[in-house]
Structure formats: structure tokens, C-alpha cells
Amino acid sequence: MSEKRQFFGTDGVRAVANRHPMTPEFVLRLGQAAATILGNRTEGGERPRAIIGRDTRASGEMLEAALVAGLNSAGVDVVLAGMIPTPAVAMLAAQSGANFGVIVSASHNPFEDNGIKFVHGNGRKLNDQTELAIEKIVLGNAEEAIRPEGRGIGRVSRMTDSVERYVAHAVASMGGVRLDGMRVALDNAHGAASYTSALALEQLGADVQVFHSEPDGFNINEECGCTHSEELERLVRQSQAQAGIAHDGDADRIALCDEEAIALDGDELMAIAAESMLRKGTLKQNTLAVTIMSNYGLDDLVSRLGGRVIRTNVGDRYVLEEMNSRGLNLGGEQSGHIIFGDWASTGDGLIAGLQVLKIMKETGEPLSQLRKCLKKFPQSSRNLRVRSKPPITDLTEAQKIIKETEKKLGNYGRVLLRYSGTESLIRLLIEGRDVEYLEAQADRIASAILAQIG
């Protein structure tokens, strides 16, 4: 794409709360711009409607108020759904016929940060072009935004059953399979899942041991949640659970831990799900969508079962775009954004966790056994500090070694080289079956890069 977004990243706008761009003034303006782009008016002249949900950060109250003011001033009615997970907002927007949904959250970031992300009325994330259109209005003249008067000004209401509706949806995804007798350790990261995940698991009959589920506005993600797998492993040992589940702050991600207190990554979860769905014949197009960061062991597993893997850029939004364009129903990221498309239009930590627990029940196998379906290819990685970032194709000596390496690896490995989007780093990853060869080639490529731009 020729134009670069200034505020939107891979998952909305995110920054330290009350510091530009995450100030009330900016968020108000962002709400007006979003209303202009996403709030299509009906022929009857009815005001558009948006659903807002947020995580448990203290700054969410301030930013939600600014967002409401911006949307109302642009003629959008707002329905406040309260503190609920990101996927719940997507689901409620689609179920209720809203024009769009908004989530006030900074996901797995510390409590000082906050963010704003949008979904269309069908629950799907915005593409780059739509985010650019919103940014142009934010950066343009105030007159560009819709500014009605009188009866055209938006109103505010509250959804009192948002938690119940989302929990019922998650429970329904189990198709009648119950979890009676299964002990689950649940780490809610003091985030939005504190109000939903335990309810769903309890309704399904699980023995739920709940941890980190007392949000105070400041403890979200604090040494807990899915980015702290060591804590989940400790909780599983402590509670002698058959499985552990951890969410991030807005519960669109998940980490699972087996009964031996060893955490699984997103690749292992997708492998378990893909194998089950391929054997049942429920994986649409026999295809799994992942990012370029996923281990090639997934390709090996899925191809042996008669399916295939397709890869996208890093970011679950790009996985979702590929799934939507191809009509797929399973995809995700190594980081734990797992999308079960039959039940969710975005990453959903609760539904992903339930689907894996369902496979455990159906097969009678523990997670420690199920995870063995994925034979990960060895990897060698380097994070190299650089003084400049010329096009990667201009790294001539490194490119020669990369081509030599790719030829040697063939269909059983890969070389991935990309710049960090936030630091003066270039990241190198080589994957294949021969560890010694991978290490040697990684050193050769790293040396060539450092000689040119280190």
C-alpha cells in the first residue's frame, strides 16, 4: 500500500493513556471520524448505532466518555455494553444490527496504556484502507466530520445483558458437549474475562479454579495473563488442574497449559484443532490460515492429513482477511489469537479455549498427549541492531546466502528476514530440520548483515 497509517497499528490505535494520541481530545475526534466513515445512515433517516465495550483499565472510563461525546456529536446512538471482551463486542454488534462496534482496550499492554479499535457491524475488523479514511478525517478540517443538530444528535443507552448474551454464545459453541469432572485453572489477567470466562466454564460443568480475577483498574496484566505462561504453569501445579487457561486484558487471546504444567503456544493449539477438524471433515477448504511466524511443522502435519496451510503477514487482522476472502473457518497466530470462524468473527480466547477442551472430552486424551500431533521444526533466530534500514533486497551479500539456504532447505524450511516496526532491529529466523545447519547459516547471514548496516 502506498499510504502509511499514522495512528492505527496492527490492532487499532494504542498509546499511553492521556498522552497523544490517546488523549480525550484525540479520541473524541477519532469518534467523529469513525462515525463519518462507518455510520451509514438508513434511507429512513434513522441515526446509526454503535456498541462500545471496554476492558478494566481505569483510563477506560475517561476515554469511553470522550468516545461517546465524539460519536453522539456526529449523530450516532451509543449502546454501552460495559466491561466485556473484545470478541463480545464483535458478536453483539453483529447480533444486534449495530452499524459498528468500538473497543476501548490496550489488550496485553500494561495498565498505563490504552487503545481504541473498531469492528464493522458484521463483527469484522477494519482493513487498512478504511483505517486510512478515518485518519484522513482526523487529520483534516473539523468541517469534514458530520455534525448534526437538534434531533440528529446521538443518544446513549446501556446494554444490561451483554455478559449473559456473550456467555450463552460461548456455551452454545460446545454443541452440547459438557465439561463435567474437568478441573480448569483460569487466569483472567484482572481483565475483561473476569466477568465472563468462569461463568461459561461453570455452566458447562467444569470445576473452575479462578485466579487473577479482581480488577481494580490498575492491575490488568500485572505478572499474570497469557503473556506470563510461567504463572499459568504455577497455577496448574497449585490447583492440580487438567488444563490451564489464561487470557490477555481484552480476552481475544489465549494461552493453554497441559496437566503436566507445560504451556502450549498458538501453533500447538491450531495443530490440535486442525487435526480434529480434518478428521471430522469440518475444516472448510481443508485449509488453515496462519501468519509467516508460525512453525513449518504445521504445514507438515496438515499436508499429511490432506489439507494445506496458507500464510499471511503478521497480525490476526490479516489472517481474518484471508479467512473471509477464502471462506475458511480456522486460523490464528502463534501468539494465541485463534479464530474459530464458525463461532467468532475475530480472535476469541474463551471460544478457542472451549473448543480445545471439547476435543479433550471427545477424544478422552489429555493435552499432554494431544499436543504431540505437532512436530515442530527447529528454529534459529537472531535480533540484530542496525544503524539504518535500507530495503532488504539491497542487503546483497546476505541475500546471496539466503538464496543458497532456501535452495538447500527446499520445501522443508524457510528463511524469514524483516525489520522491526518499532526498534532499530532486523529480525532473522531460519527454520528447518537440521539444527547445526540452521545455526551455521544464521551466523553467516547475520555477519553479512552486520558488515553492511550493523
Annotated binding site for Mg(2+): which residue ranges?
107, 248, 250, 252
Given a contact cutoff of 8 angstroms between Cβ atoms, the answer to whether 8 and 116 are in contact is no
The reply to whether 107 belongs to the active site is yes
Instruction: Show the cell assigned to 310.
Output: 496458507
Give pLDDT tens digits for 382-424: 999 999 999 999 999 999 999 999 999 987 888 999 998 667 8
Q: Which CATH architecture has domain 264-362?
A: 3-Layer(aba) Sandwich (3.40)
CATH 3.40.120.10 fits 8-159, yes or no: yes
The answer on pLDDT for 344 being more than 50 is yes
Three-state DSSP state, 409: helix
Give pLDDT tens digits for 365-375: 999 999 999 99
Given a contact cutoff of 8 angstroms between Cβ atoms, the answer to whether 243 and 255 are in contact is no
Torsion angles phi and psi, residue 105, rounded to 5: -165, 150
**CATH 3.30.310.50 in the chain, residues?**
379-453
**CATH 3.40.120.10 in the chain, residues?**
8-159, 165-262, 264-362
First to last CA, the chain: 28
Annotated binding site: which residue ranges?
107, 248, 250, 252
Given a contact cutoff of 8 angstroms between Cβ atoms, the answer to whether 127 and 119 are in contact is no
pTM: 0.90
At 328 the pLDDT is 98
Instruction: Show the cell assigned to 103.
Output: 473497543
Calculate the CA 158 to chain-centre distance: 26
Q: What is the mean pLDDT of residues 190-216?
A: 98
Q: Which of 59, 73, 105, 107 is catalytic?
A: 107
- 89 C-beta neighbours (distance < 10 Å), count: 33
- 95 C-beta neighbours (distance < 10 Å), count: 13
379-453 — its CATH code?
Answer: 3.30.310.50
Sheet holding 425-431, edge to edge: 379-385, 425-431, 414-419
Q: What is the mean pLDDT of residues 113-140?
A: 93
CATH fold of 165-262 reads Alpha-D-Glucose-1,6-Bisphosphate; Chain A, domain 3 (3.40.120)
Q: Residue 21 contacts by C-beta under 8 Å, 6 or more apart in sequence?
A: 7, 13, 15
Residue type (1 letter), 223: E
